[in-house]
Structure formats: C-alpha cells, structure tokens
Amino acid sequence: MRKETIYSLKAPYRDALRVSGYRFGKGDKAACIVGAIRGNEIQQLYICSQLIKALTELEKKGAIVNNNEILVIPSVNHYSMNIGKRFWALDNTDINRMFPGNMEGETTQRIAAGVFEKVQGYSYGIQFASFYMPGDFVPHVRMMETGYQSASLANLFGLPYVVVRKPTPFDMSTLNYNWQQWKTNAFSIYTNETDVIDEVSARQAVSAVLRFLTRMGIIRYNSHGGYIANIINENDLTLVRNKDAGIYRRIKLPGEEVHRGDILAEIMNPYEGEVISQVIAPTDGIIFFSHKSPLVNENEIVYKIIRRLHE
Amino acid sequence: MVKTVVCVGLPIDEKLFIQKNRLAPESVTGKEKRITIVTGTHGDELDGQYVCYQLINKINQNQGKLKGIVDVYPALNPLGIDSVSRGIPMFELDMNRIFPGSRDAAMTENVAADIIEDIMGSDLCVDIHSSNVFLKETLQVRISNENEKKLLPYAKLLNTNLIWIHESVTVLEATLGHSLNSMRVPTLVVEMGVGMRITKEYGDHLVDGIFRLMVELGIWEEESIPIKAPIIATKDEVKVIHAQHAGVFVKEIEHNDWIREGEIIGNIINGLTGEIEEVITAPSDGIVFTLREYPIVYTGSLIARIVGGATK
Ligand SMILES: [Zn+2]
C-alpha cells in the first residue's frame, strides 16, 4: 500500500485540503474506487476505510494479481464533512456536479479536474454514491445509459439489483458519467445510509467490491457468490406518492416484499395525532426506495417499487 | 389580479404558494400579446423584487396605456427568499437546475413543471437574476449563442449596459431560461448587481427597458422611452480572471471602471503575515463588468471579468 496526496488546495486560514489516494499493486490501471465526494457521505467514507483495510491485508498476503494497480480515494470533500456541510463550504457547489472539471475554472471545478486527472484511464471505476433526495434504498449498483455501460459487468458485484438510468443534463457533470465518456466502465454503489454508518450494508458493499475485483482477475479472494442481480430500468420503477403532508410513519422498508393493497406508510395530523391518510401499494413487488424523514410534504414520492411480473 | 400558480402542503400547518400578478387591459379581446416577468428562483437575489414593484406600480397608475397582458411572478422560490437561502431550503437544491421539471419525479420537479406550464403561451419572458453574494455584475442580458438570432433584437431594447453572448453549456440546459427558449417562449435572462442587496439604479434602468420592450410587443402605449445602446460581447471578447492564491481579496478599482492592461484590479492579502499573496492586474484594456464583492477567496475563485476592446 502506498499513500499519496493526489490533490491539494490551500485555504486562507484552514489547514490545506488534501485528497489522499491509496495505491495497491503495480502495473496496468485496473480499478479506481472513490468514496465521499459530498460532506454528508460518511457511510461512503467508512466503506472505503474498510476496503482499504481489506486490500492492505490482501496485498500483504500477495493476493493482488500481478500487473494490476488499484487506487482508492476515500474522501474528496472532507473539508465540508469536518464542518457539517454537504457541499463546498464557500459557495455551496457540489463537486459531483463539476466533472470532468476545469483546471482554469472555479475552485470546485479545479478540485474535480485534479481528481479526475488521477482517476482516469482505469478499466473499472467504482463510486460509493448518495442520492440528492433523502431516503433509503435497497443496496444496488447504478449505471448511466451512455452507450458505454455494461449491465452484465455490473452483475458481477453480486448485489441484488442493478439499476440503469437515462442521464439528464443534470447527470452529465457527475464522476460516473464522465468516467464512461473516457472509456472507464463506471459503477455507482448505493447502500442503505449516507449520514450515518450502517455496518451491515457497509460490509455488503466491501464484499461486493472484493467479489467484483476477484471476478475481474485483479485480486485473489475467497468471495461468496452473492446474488444474481435483477437488472432494472429506473423508468420501470413504480412511483408511489403520499396525498397529505404531515408526520410520516414508515411501515414497509426497502427490500421488503409487498402485495397490492398493503399499507406502506401512514400520514398523521401533526397536531392531533390522527392518521389522516395511508400510502397503499399499487402493485405487488419489492420496495426499492422509501422516504425516511419523519415529516413529509404533500405529493412527494415516498416509495419506489420493483413491480413483480406475474408469469 | 393575484393568482396562485402552485400550492403544496408542507408538513406542519403551512402551504408553499407560488403566486403571480396578472395585469390586463379593462376589456380583453383574447388577441393580446403576453409578457412574463419572473424572478426569485435564487432566494438570495433580490433586485427583481424592486423591478416587479416598480413595474406593477407604474402599470397600475397608467392603466389606460396597457394593451396586453403582463404576468409578474416575483418569487419562484418563496421558501428561499423568506429564509435567506439561495436554493430550495430543505434540499439545498438549486431551483434553476430542475427545469423543465417532471410529473414523474419529486415534488420540487412537479413544481417546476407547473411553473413552465403556467408560463407557456407567453410571447416573451424576462428572467431576472442578481448574480450571487460573491460577485457584482453590471446590468446585462446573457444569451446562449444558439439563441442569438432570436433573442438579440429583444435584448437590445432592455436598456442594459451589456449583452453577453456565451457558449451553450450542458448543465445550463436545466435552467428556466433554457427550458423556455427550447419550448419556444423567447426568454431573456438578466443578471445585475450583487446577491442579498438591491442596486436601485440598475433596477430603474431595467424597468425602463421592460416598458420599451412592451411598446415593441404592442403591450404598452408610450411615445418614446429612451434607452441606451449596450456593449455586445461574445466569448472571445470577455477576459475572465481567477485567483491563483487563497487569501483575502481587496479591490483597488470600482466595479464598472474602465481600466488599462497591467493596471491593478486588487490584491489578495494575508492577514496573518501582512504580506500580499497575489497582485491581480488587468490582462487587457476594458470595462470591469464583473468584480468580486466577497473578499475570502480560494485558488480558482472568480475575481473579475473584463470586456475587452471597449473604450470609455
Ligand atoms: Zn440567479
């Protein structure tokens, strides 16, 4: 394992921002793994730390296959994380909306450019990502439909679901999208949590990456088989909205199987405590996403369901 | 007449309202032209407030001159404006990155779709912005080069100091301006002043410009409204200066000054060592139409934009 500073930026008074990279093995650029790009991605940072720990052990045992180099960048924006902010502290810009970056541009464009220069040219790019709206997902691999994506490769992580998303202009400045434009096979891995650490899904994510690296011939590791993934197009998820605003009580959780007519959640009058409406499953299926906050606005998307096809 | 365009329940005893004021002649034939004025997508940009007030007030006092329909939306992001938040407060989401919105997405994107739907059918739209808290901008219209042909004749009437024709950028496709332009509502995006403040002089100039534009569209009847000819700049004529060092920027010139190549724009100083970290000089002659207002800078922070070649 070799630790290096891959990008640094001075501040007026704060300690410099140092983006650290951990390299394992030597030779062809095999895989690059990126953790927290937003300041609230603590779970993503934690997963990377566990992955670095595991890869350090594997390297000691000689389990990195010859002529393969792996780069892990656990955190890009700990400057925001250290002060409890999500986006770049000065101007509230999102570094994950600045790729491929610009060395001559604004501060966050320069950070993105500095990082992107170092993460380019790898065969596989893996990012532990978070969604911009709050809520919980079933763990999954997400890819953007760019024409370069390969859903069958995503299956090799052994996570239960692979989601393919059609990119909007808003997505085109993410790391994932730009990796693919520069011919790296890019995958984003979503686990249950972001702001807090969830050990179970973190372990699942670390295993998924080790399994993938093993199957691609980059490391030697005894991995369990994992799941055979269902490949889902994001547009095919069934969206479920709540009618009323109020206090939100979640009943069904991501990963649970539901039947048409099941009560997924209840909305209560925030003053009087009475249930004023229920969120009902419109179809049989598996919960893919659920709203988590105890409060909800009117007409939000509170559930996304993977519809079960009846044979 | 004030109408509610969007009404969404918030969790506890509050509704999110987006409202507009429709001003129309006393008798309407149905063939009137319609202009739409929108502002407040960014909650920290306030010049539009003054412009909306002046516009509505002047129309109400000269009702007889009104020959068409004027729709004024003073606060597209009311939660942001009322809470000193640039984005939509709960999500830190830039509202000008979610257009044209969607019916199959989160509440905020539904709201965006409702706004677009309500504006559709307008003959022209003016979207008023106030830079941000970091930069002071001259009164200007920004036009993406793909819309130059369609928008430039209208933009010239708005009584601004500058028309900046810039390259199209993918992320800007999700702005209200881009969305409306691609849905065939010609939309002029105005930038001016500085965030969290009102620059009254620019507001007054823009109000005159909007009335001049309304005369052109047949919405307003008035003999003559004098307007000035703007500088028209394309990408090559704009020089952009970024900080190369972190520190505290102190300007040595005033915004909108005309300066010569090599002249000092300002210094990035260090309050701990008493040293100058960087002296920032003009790369060419021209007018400093953008100047940094907020002193704290990192490497990359925008310091100034100069439109070159212009003479005083
Ligand atoms: Zn704005």
Tokens of B202: 């620019």
> What is the whole-number distance in angstroms between the Cα of residue B129 and the centre of ligand 1?
4
**Which is it for the CA torsion B129, B134, B138, B144, positive or negative?**
negative
Closest Cα in chain B, distance from residue A214 (Å): 37
| Residue A43 parent element (H or E) | helix A42-60
Give the burial class of B3: count Cβ atoms within 10 A of its Cβ; 0-12 exposed, 13-18 middle, 19 or more buried: exposed
Chain A interface mutation, best of B103, B298, B302, highest count of A Cβ atoms under 10 Å: B298
> What is the tens place of the pLDDT at every residue in A22-47?
999 999 999 999 999 999 999 999 99
pTM: 0.93
Which domains are assigned to chain B?
Answer: 2-232 (3.40.630.10), 235-308 (2.40.50.100)
Give the burial class of A120: count Cβ atoms within 10 A of its Cβ; 0-12 exposed, 13-18 middle, 19 or more buried: middle
Measured in whole angstroms, how far is the alpha carbon of residue B142 from the centre of its chain? 8
The torsion angles phi and psi of B211, rounded to 5 degrees, stand at -65, -40
- A47, A29 contact by CB (below 8 A): no
Segment-wise mean pLDDT, segments of 10 residues, chain B, 312 residues: 97 97 95 98 98 98 97 98 94 90 90 98 98 97 95 98 90 90 97 98 98 98 93 91 98 96 98 98 96 98 87 47
Any A CB within 8 A of B13 CB? yes
Q: Which amino acid is at A291?
A: H
In percent, the amount of chain B with pLDDT more than 70 equals 98
Out of A172, A173, A301, the one facing B106 most closely (by C-beta) is: A301
Measured in whole angstroms, how far is the alpha carbon of residue B204 from the centre of its chain? 14
What distances in angstroms separate CA B162 from CA B134, B152, B302, B311, one per listed residue?
20, 11, 19, 13
Is residue A240 left, alpha or beta, with left meaning phi > 0 and alpha meaning psi from -120 to 50?
A: beta
Q: In what order do the strands lie in the sheet with A230-233?
A: A2-9, A17-24, A68-75, A28-36, A124-128, A185-190, A140-144, A161-165, A230-233
> What is the tens place of the pLDDT at every residue in B167-179?
888 767 899 999 9
> What is the whole-number distance in angstroms between the Cα of residue B94 and the centre of ligand 1?
9
Question: Rounded distance, CA A47 to CA A35, Å?
Answer: 8
- C-beta atoms of B174 and A169 within 8 A: yes
Q: Which residues of B touch A92 (CB under 8 A)?
A: 86-87, 92
- C-beta atoms of A298 and B91 within 8 A: no
Q: What was the ipTM of the complex prediction? A: 0.91
- C-beta atoms of B171 and A172 within 8 A: yes
Which domains are assigned to chain A?
Answer: 2-233 (3.40.630.10), 237-307 (2.40.50.100)
pLDDT digits (tens), chain A, 311 positions: 999 999 999 999 999 999 999 999 999 999 999 999 999 999 999 999 999 999 999 999 999 999 999 999 999 999 999 999 999 989 999 999 999 999 999 999 999 999 999 999 999 999 999 987 778 889 999 998 887 767 889 999 999 999 999 988 878 899 999 999 999 999 999 988 899 999 999 999 999 999 999 999 999 998 878 888 889 999 999 999 999 999 999 999 999 999 999 999 999 999 999 999 999 999 999 999 999 999 999 999 999 999 986 64
Q: What integer pLDDT is reported at residue B312 of this predicted model?
A: 44
Chain A interface mutation, best of B10, B107, B276, highest count of A Cβ atoms under 10 Å: B107
Q: What integer pLDDT is reported at residue B309 of this predicted model?
A: 63
End-to-end CA distance of chain A: 51
- C-beta atoms of B242 and A106 within 8 A: yes
